[in-house]
Homo-oligomer: A and B are copies of this chain.
């Protein structure tokens, strides 16, 4: 493969799903709720209903589903207690905690640049509006 603007030959930079680490993270982190849950569990253990209340807008169905995936991926533990009424605690695993750091970096970035992004959008939208006239 030849790179038109540099003349340099480059390898395929983003291979198909299986063997691309970037796509793997996205599979874990790229959905609507996983990150939110991981960040919350980074603060303390939560039980099902607590998570449901803490994450505004999540449905019971999606919470169940997402937790399952996180447990399967080894990021979260699920520990049921044989009490009445039943109680299930969710917490991060050691692996899950290692994810906290890069996520925090992303979160920090968002906080630092949200204004820039908002400004860029305004610029873009008004410029586009002007072009439409």
Contacts and interface: CB of A to CB of B under 8 A. Distances in A.
Interface of A: 1, 3-6, 12-17, 21-26, 28-32, 35-36, 39-40, 43-45, 47, 50, 53-57, 71-75, 89, 95, 98-99, 101-103, 105-114, 116-117, 119-121, 123-125
A5 B4 CA distance: 60
Contact of A109 (B14, B25, B53): B25
B30 A14 contact: no
Given A31-B30, A117-B95, A110 B40 contact: no
A29 B102 CA distance: 13
A74 B124 contact: yes
A73 B117 contact: yes
